Structure 1
Amino acid sequence: MTLMPSPPVLEVEAAALSAAEHAPHTDRAGRLPDAVAEALTGTGLLAHFVPRAFGGAAGRFDDCLPALLRLAEADPSAGWCAAIMASMSRMAAYLPAAGQQAVWAHGPHVSLAGTLQPAGTATPTPGGWLLSGRWPYCSGVHHARWALLSAVPEGAPGPRFLLVPRSAWTTEPTWSGAVGLRGTGSDTLVLDTEVFVPEDHSFTREQLFTAADPPADGDCYRVPHEAISGLFFAVPLLGTARAALTAWTAAASRNPSAGSLRDSDAALATASGKIDAADLLLRRAARTCDEPDALTALLAARCRRDHATAAGLLNGAVQTLFHSAGVRATSGTGALSRLWRDASTAALHPALAVPPAAQAYATRLLRPAE
Structure 2
Amino acid sequence: MAHEVVQKVAEIAPQLAATAEETERLGRLTDESVKLMREAGVMRLLQPTDFGGYAAHPRDFAEAVMAVAAHCGSTGWVCGVGGVHPWEMALMDRKLQEEVWGANPDTWIASPYAPQGVATPTDGGYILRGRWNFSSGTDHCDWIFLGALVGDADGKPAQPMKGLHVVLPRKDYTIVDESWDVIGLCGTGSKDIIVDGAFIPEYRTIDSMEVAEGEIAAERAGRADTVYRLPFWAMFPLGITSAVIGIAEGALAAHLAYQRPRVSAMGTAIKDDPYVLSAIGEAAAEIQSSRIQLIDGISRLYDLADSGKEITFADRAMQRRNQVRCAWRAVAAVDEIFARSGGNAVRRQNVMQRFWRDAHVGLQHAIHAPGGIYHATALTAMGIEPEGMLRALI
Q: TM-score, normalization: structure 1?
A: 0.92
Q: How does 1:71-86 map to 2 (within 5 A)?
A: 71-86=68-83
Indicate if the aligned counterparts of 2:113 and 2:146 stay in contact, CA closer than 8 A: yes
Partner of 2:373: 357
Q: Unpaired segments of 5 or more residues in structure 2?
A: 153-157, 387-394
More divergent stretch after superposition (104-113 vs 340-349): 104-113
1:120 matches 2:117: yes
C-alpha contact 1:99 1:202 (8 A) present in aligned 2: no
Q: 1:1-370 maps to which residues of 2 (within 5 A)?
A: 10=5, 11-13=8-10, 15-155=12-152, 157-191=161-195, 193-211=196-214, 212-214=216-218, 215=221, 216-257=223-264, 258=268, 261-291=273-303, 292=305, 293-294=308-309, 295-370=311-386
Structure 1 stretches of at least 4 aligned residues deviating more than 4 Å after TM superposition: none
How many residue pairs get matched? 362
AA partner of residue 55 (structure 2): A
Moved more, 100-109 or 321-330: 100-109
For 2:89 and 2:27, locate their aligned partners in 1 and report how far apart those are by CA, in whole Å. 26
Shift in Å, 1:15? 4.9
Q: Could you tell me which runs of 5 or more consecutive residues in structure 1 were left unpaired when the two chains were aligned.
A: 1-7
Moved more, 178-187 or 357-366: 357-366
| Residues in 2 aligned to 1:126 and 1:72: alpha-carbon distance in whole angstroms | 44
- Measured after TM superposition, the shift of residue 12 of structure 1 is 2.4
The structural deviation recorded for 1:174 is 4.9
> How far did 1:95 drift?
1.3
Q: Per-residue displacement from partner, 1:335-370 (whole Å, max 9, x unpaired)?
A: 011110000101111112211221231122113445
Instruction: Identify the range of structure 1 (50-59 vs 347-356) with the bigger mean alpha-carbon deviation.
Output: 50-59
Corresponding residue for 2:155? none
Cα shift readout 1:95-149 (whole Å, capped 9, x = no counterpart)? 1222222212124322110012101232221101122321111101100111011
Partners of 1:112 and 1:147 within 8 A in 2: yes
**Post-superposition offset of 1:297:** 2.8
SS in 1 for 2:200: strand
Report the Cα offset of residue 248 of structure 1. 0.9
Pairwise CA distance, 1:241: 0.8
Q: Is the CA contact (8 Å cut-off) linking 1:312 and 1:347 kept in structure 2?
A: yes
Letter in 1 for 2:276: S
CA–CA distance in structure 1, aligned partners of residues 4 and 52 of structure 2? 11
**240-249 vs 261-270, greater mean Cα deviation:** 261-270
Query: 1:135 and 1:41, CA in 2 relative to 1: closer, same or farther beyond 3 A?
Result: same
RMSD (Å), alpha carbons: 1.9
Q: Distance in 2 between matches of 1:32 and 1:109?
A: 16
| TM-score, normalisation: structure 2 | 0.87
